[in-house]
Every structure is written in C-alpha cells, then in structure tokens.
Amino acid sequence: MCGRYTLTKPELLPDLFEISEVNFPPRFNIAPTQPAPVVRLDTAGDREGAVMRWGLLPHWMKEPPTGTQLINARAESLTEKPAFRDAFRRRRCLVPADGFYEWRSTNGRKRPYYVRSRGLPMLAFAGLWETFRPSEDEEIESFTIITCPANELVRRIHPRMPVVLTPEDYDLWLHEGAHPEIRQRLLSPCPPELLEAFPVSLRVNNPRNDSPECIQPAPED
C-alpha cells in the first residue's frame, strides 16, 4: 500500500512532465484526503497538471464516503473492481512524487521508512482519476495510486508498493493508443536499483507534521 508520500520540488514538474506550472507548495508528508498534483491528458490529448483530492470518488457514487477509502488500487484487480474499472479504461494519470513512506512492523512496533528515487529526478506513480458531482453546481476531482507486489528492496519493509513508471512509459500509460494488455504489463514492481530506503523519524506518523525533518534519516532500531 501507499499511505503517505512526498513532493518536495514541485517546481520541477513543468520540465519533467511537459506541463504548465502547477500552483503547489513543497510537501513532506502528503496524506489521504489532501490535495496533490497529478498529470493527465486534456481533451486535446495533451498533458496537463491538475490538483486533486487523494482518495478516489467514483463518478457513480450517491454521496462521498467518510474516511480515507480508495487511496490505493491493486494492480491485479483493476479490471474487476467497479470502483476502478471505468477509470482504468479512460482516466489514467501520473502521480509525481520524490518518494513514499512505508511502515515495518517489528516486535509489535511500527517503524516508518522513507523510500525515495535513486536514479531519477522524480518518481511518477501510476494512478487513476475521477470526477464526482455531489450536486449540479459542484464537482470533486480525485485520484488513487495503483499498487503492486513489492520489489526486493521494499519487500523488507512492506509486501506492496506503488507502481513506479519510468519516463519512457508515461505516454503508454496516459494515451488511449496503447493496448490494454500493454498497459497492464506496466503495472509491475520497478527495478530495486531505482530506489533507496532508510528509517526516518516517528514525526511522519502525524500528518500535521510536514517539514524536511520528516525525511531525515534516523537511527535503525
């Protein structure tokens, strides 16, 4: 799963994703239900940035759910789950991030780890987005992050991880031209050498803490 992540250099988004500037501050502890940038295609088929709520609200819902449901979508069941099936066909996006947090359980305690990019200037998670209209004059755009079984590095911490796409896969994921089976093959663990992981402070456990201290390495237990 992916329950927190970072985007500390949003000023890089236009160059890395070929989009216009996105008005978004540096974030060190993005949590479910909070707004965050995604990259999608506009009606002309060009990339655009948009800020959406993290936690998918399917368009067919009667009213928004409470809590943090649907922050993640399992890659293995996208075509089966009604909440994700239509978005997987028509509304895919990239979720820019520097890295993500995961918690490892040891002796009854959960210790946060930060997993960040080693070889890329920024990561892009595979995502889905939706537009939910609770009333005629209101709409809420939201997204979810797709997860897959963890690679060898992340597996030491948690059994699942976000799907990380490389730049050469961005268009394959976003555009309609790619065959669905090709897109499905993208939803696999990235090579472990693209990432590094280390323990961080317990400060990240509280979503109100959103500062560079969240990603500072901490001593191993």
Q: Closest Cα partner for 170 from 178, 162, 159?
A: 178
Cβ contact 128:184 at 8 Å? no
Instruction: Give me the catalytic one of 102, 130, 148, 214.
Output: 102
Q: Closest Cα partner for 201 from 214, 188, 184?
A: 214
72: Cβ–Cβ under 8 A, 6 or more apart, which residues?
1, 2, 3, 144, 145, 146, 147
76 annotated active-site: no
48 annotated active-site: no
Active site residues per annotation: 2, 102
